[in-house]
Amino acid sequence: MPARPEASATPNRGAGWAARPGGLAAIVIGLCAVLIVSALAAIGLGSAVVPPGDTVRYLWSAVTGATITADEVTRYQIIWQIRAPRVLLAVVVGAGLAAVGAAIQSLVRNSLADPYILGVSSGASVGAVTVSLFGALSGLGIYAVSVGAFLGAIGATILVYAIAHGRGGVSPLRLVLTGVAVSFGFQAVMSVMIYFAPNSEATGTVLFWTMGSFGAATWGSLPIAAVFVIAGIALLRRYGRSLDVMSFGDETAASLGIDATRNRKALFVVTALMTGAMVAVSGAIGFVGLVIPHITRMLIGATHARLLLVTPFIGAILMVWVDLLARTLVAPRELPLGVLTAIIGVPVFIILMRRNGYVFGER
């Protein structure tokens, strides 16, 4: 499914007032404010609603070590131990998925690409299933599933790259086709493992995890995912100009002094590590990495210097509110995140596809 070569042929089209002096800074500041308000609201809302003032006070107490009264301990623990790491993990994963989606779509020159197109999520799912159903890596305790998922994701990445690599290096089309094929293979393996699983309860847990959830978020798992995502976004931004040029094709990139093969290899490693780290802590959450980059391109244009700055904020904001809906719509039960992102993402993507003249970042 190769994308049209116009993918970034007009990177500034649709930039609007983001290209004006101070315009991009205003957008980033505004999105940062919205993200902070959204995170605080999500931390306070749930089956037990905590007023905004108390939410801020409990968070401040946790950070500074200030005292609280005995009758506030339960609400304090809900805010600090349960909701805060969950909401912050939603911020990290939403930002990471959106950034990786924007980079992958240019990396493989395919407007339908998302962070999972290269088989990462399927490999991670096999790793998680292996741990959950058969007790592998049991010595790692509560982190066993995450480590298994990360190892599975990295294994799938290495396999895809090894298969796609030919005499002329790795072409975008070969990467996409290999990733799709490997994904189907890992999905088949996962299905067989679940079918013969001896524990139906574990099977239900695995199926829920593969559709996405932040229910297992802890202060222990958050820093690891955050380091991968923050460092990854910083590296992707350094490759912003290369992504712009590579969108025209390898020949054009070479004529402009860009080694597409070397850059593609480096970007492949960065996006794979970021995606593996995110899938390991949240499962596979669809449509965020597919739709958010397109929406952002319509708002500010397709230049990656701007795109990779704004896209993470929009992805983070969306994920915070999706997670809030997931844990409150049918409380006390929780909906898989992938269900809600699909409900939101499918109509939005159809609207984008039907928008007159819209082609991968153009109006």
CA distance 308 to 179: 24
CATH number for position 315: 1.10.3470.10
Residue 360 lies in a domain: no
| pLDDT tens-digit map of 171-222 | 778 888 898 899 899 888 888 887 777 666 666 667 766 788 898 888 988 9
Residue 155 lies in a domain: yes
Mean pLDDT of 64-88: 91
CA pair distance 206, 131, nearest whole angstrom: 10
The answer to the question of residue 171 being in a domain is yes
Residue 228 lies in a domain: yes
Sorting pLDDT into bands at 50, 70 and 90, what band is 97?
A: very high
Give residue-wise pLDDT tens across range 287-312.
Answer: 899 999 988 988 888 888 899 999 99
Top pLDDT among 168 and 262 is at 262
Q: Which helix (H) or strand (E) holds 216?
A: none
Mean pLDDT of the chain: 84
Its domain, for residue 138, covers: 13-354
Residue 87 domain-assigned?
Answer: yes
Query: Which one has a higher pLDDT value, 137 or 187?
Result: 187
List beta partners, residue 166.
169
Number of domains within the chain = 1
**Residue 76 within any structural domain of the chain:** yes
Domain-located, residue 2 = no
Mean pLDDT of all residues in 267-285:
88
Q: Where are the alpha helices (DSSP H) in the chain?
A: 23-44, 52-64, 73-77, 84-107, 120-134, 144-164, 172-195, 200-210, 222-238, 240-246, 250-255, 260-282, 288-300, 304-328, 337-354
Confidence bin at 21 (pLDDT 50/70/90): low
Q: Residue 6: inside a domain, yes or no?
A: no
Please check whether residue 334 is in contact with residue 215, taking contact to mean a CB–CB distance below 8 angstroms: yes
